[in-house]
Amino acid sequence: MRVLTIGGGGREHAAVEALYRCGAEIYAVMKNMNPGIIKRSKKYKIIEETKVGEVCAYAKNVGAELAYIGPEAPLEAGLSDSLEKMGVLCAAPTKAAARIETSKLFMRELINKHNIAGNVGYASFDNPEDAKRYVDGIECEVVVKPVGLTGGKGVKVQGEHLHSVRDVSRYIDEVFNASIGKAGIIIEEKVSGEEFTQMAFCDGKHIEPMPLVQDHKRAYENDIGPNTGGMGSYSDSDHLLPFVKESDRVAAFNIVRDVVSAMNKDSCQYCGPIYGQFMLTPNGPKIIEFNARFGDPEAMNVLSILESDFADICYRMATGTLTKAVKFERKASVCKYVVPEGYGTKPVSGKEIFVDEEGIKRANATLYYANVNQDNGRLLTGTSRSLGIVGIADTIDMAEENCENALKFVRSKHIFVRHDIGRRNLIRNHVEHLQKLCLGQNEKSSS
């Protein structure tokens, strides 16, 4: 099958590798020269992924039969709709369905309208004055979110990034003055717990779960620093996480299923990978956000251990025939991103990076190229994350060790890595944090 892939990041390279493993003929569109995707593609073209007309013309030229769209921006631009109109099947949501990610207000209102479990208190505003008055009048701490897309970097949390009501007010002004997200602001109740990701494959009605993953957004070790698109992530061999019980996983999966069902009821059918980001609290999973795609870096964890045929899964999502159970290896995985110096604040781009692919392979790890460019045989950093290194093994400890050993085969003076991701101490801190919250909740209930 001729498969058109859109996107040039680590998530897309992971998808391309999964498609290549099952014999798909790959035609790639991306805005950067990702060497991993180029290596697996029969043909490729460098196009800005939101230029719908150019992408569709290329799809027609190569005779694409099925499309996989990795990033969110081309979904918001309506690429899936245009490809479907010209007869290309899409394992991706329409522009209307992608609003589950592209509009945080749409997501909250859908969940509220259909009384889906896990919602949090929220209010939306189209001007800074009303938003600041609202914050002044409530007692709980808040999360400030631009309504539209911000590349995973627009959310700020009171008590973490914002240390006072004055800081919250200043950030509200910044969002409106800089038109961050371009669609207003939503103020949400802050909930405390541990975040985890439940992704699923969806054909419009039927959904199949993927292993749970925990992503780490903060730039620096011990979960401090600015928010990023994700510095790394891990998954466990039982497809749960050390702090997530099976009942919590079931609750989260039921929420994802209910969201898909609600969209069907509202004549907005969803097809493609879907991503539910949850906060596990003493009162169960609460919804942080939904994404209309794979998570990044979480895609690298799950696609690296996917046993089922990914091209077949994409075809079945696109045609409403996802009836087979999707299988994953019972392996743990640890992904650590290699990022350019200054990432999270002022990333330095255009710096050379050296990669020994064979050395990474020998370390029992997988390499995914992300926001890099090839230029006359040189590999150069972009402004976002450069490489994903995924260690895979029977346990998280062993997978983390494989990942670290593989990182020795990446060299540059202008990169850094969050080495603590997947390490026992950090995981224990997260487990103990949730245990303390649950203990406090029990003490309150009994008093």
Contact 261, 179 (CB under 8 A): no
Residue 112 phi, psi (nearest 5): -65, -45
Query: Taken in order 134, 136, 140, 141, is the CA torsion positive or negative?
Result: positive
Tens digit of pLDDT for each residue in 355-388?
999 999 999 999 999 999 998 889 999 999 999 9
- Percent of all residues in the chain with a pLDDT value above 70, rounded to a whole number: 98
pLDDT at 95: 98
pLDDT bracket for residue 447 (50, 70, 90):
low
pLDDT of residue 415: 96
Task: Tell me what pLDDT residue 152 has.
Answer: 67
Residue range 395-409, pLDDT digits in tens: 999 999 999 999 999
pLDDT of residue 445: 66
Q: What is the pLDDT of residue 323?
A: 87
Measured from the Cβ of residue 352, the count of other Cβ atoms closer than 10 Å reads: 13
Residue 283 has a CB neighbour count (10 Å cut-off) of 12
pLDDT digit string (tens) for 293-331?
A: 999 999 999 999 999 999 999 999 999 999 888 999 999
- Which pLDDT band holds residue 424 (cuts at 50, 70, 90)? very high
For 157, the token pair is: 């949390």
Query: Residue 186: is its pLDDT beyond 70?
Result: yes
Residue-wise pLDDT tens digits, 46-101: 999 999 999 999 999 999 999 999 999 999 999 999 999 999 999 999 999 999 99
Closest-CA residue to 7 (of 436, 370, 354, 321): 370
Write out pLDDT tens, residues 93-144: 999 999 999 999 999 999 999 999 999 999 999 999 999 999 998 888 999 9
Q: What is the pLDDT of residue 149?
A: 83
Task: Read off the pLDDT of residues 325-338 as tens digits, 9 standing for 90 and up.
Answer: 899 999 999 999 99
- 27, 11 in Cβ contact below 8 A? no
Read off the pLDDT of residues 233-260 as tens digits, 9 standing for 90 and up. Answer: 999 999 999 999 999 999 999 999 999 9
Q: Give the pLDDT confidence of 28-38 residue by residue, as tens digits.
A: 999 999 999 99
Rounded Cα distance, 5 and 163, in Å: 42
Query: How confident is the model over 199-236, as pLDDT tens digits?
Result: 999 999 999 999 999 999 999 999 998 889 899 999 99
Measured at the CA of 47, the angle between CA 44 and CA 48, to 5 degrees, comes to 145
Q: What pLDDT is stored for residue 446 in this prediction?
A: 63
